[in-house]
Amino acid sequence: MNDAQQPPATGTPTPAVPASLEAIIEQARSARQHHTEDTFRRLGRGERLSAEQIYDTLHAHTVCTWWLLVARHIEYADSGGLRRSQTIARFISWIAPYATDPTPPEPATQAPASGADSERGAALDQLERSLALIRQNAARAFLTQAETLAPACSHQQTPDASPGQEATA
């Protein structure tokens, strides 16, 4: 795949192009596949992975997983009784809180003591913060894509509705 054919890192469709669920899912799968193959190719060559490569891979996997869950839910849930717009509204309400989750505080910049345990603890603190930021960004990308499918669904969700309560489409 050359640079002109590479999927965008965020997996977000171009706003001017009307989106279909199938197109968004295919784009998410393609981005996930591209980043996974790139990661394994680099590891196979003994290269170090950059933070950007890891971020893009985890982001692509998160967005793709959510879209595959939407597709599975449409196909199997409620014996096909839910319309696509209802299912998308349900996932919007489930994923929206991730976009606004409070970011964990910056880990302390001073390492308390040297040693494998303290280094591991510091690394895990940094990783937890990083994963939270990746989830936030993936949630925003998912919600942006979902709005291209069902703009009415995303706006019918009331601010006081709890997660898991979908808007009616």
In tens, the pLDDT along 25-38 reads 999 999 999 999 99
**Between 141 and 82, residue with greater pLDDT:** 141
Q: What is the pTM of this model?
A: 0.72
CB atoms within 10 A of CB 155: 11
Tokens 């280094």 found at = 119
pLDDT in tens, 118-165: 888 888 888 999 999 999 999 999 999 999 885 544 444 444 444 444
Instruction: Give 101's pLDDT tier (boundaries 50, 70, 90).
Output: confident
**H helices present in 21-115, as ranges:** 21-44, 51-76, 84-100
In angstroms, rounded to a whole number, what is the distance separating the alpha carbons of residues 84 and 87?
Answer: 5
Residue (of 74, 105, 85) closest to 154 by Cα position: 85
Residue 4 in 3-state DSSP?
Answer: helix
In angstroms, rounded to a whole number, what is the distance separating the alpha carbons of residues 54 and 109?
Answer: 22
Instruction: Give 107's pLDDT tier (boundaries 50, 70, 90).
Output: low
| Residues contacting residue 166 through CB under 8 Å, at least 6 positions apart | 86, 89, 90, 92, 93, 157
Instruction: Give 104's pLDDT tier (boundaries 50, 70, 90).
Output: confident
In angstroms, rounded to a whole number, what is the distance separating the alpha carbons of residues 19 and 116?
Answer: 49
The beta-carbon contacts of 1-8 under 8 Å, at least 24 apart in sequence, are 1/34, 6/34, 7/31, 7/34, 7/60
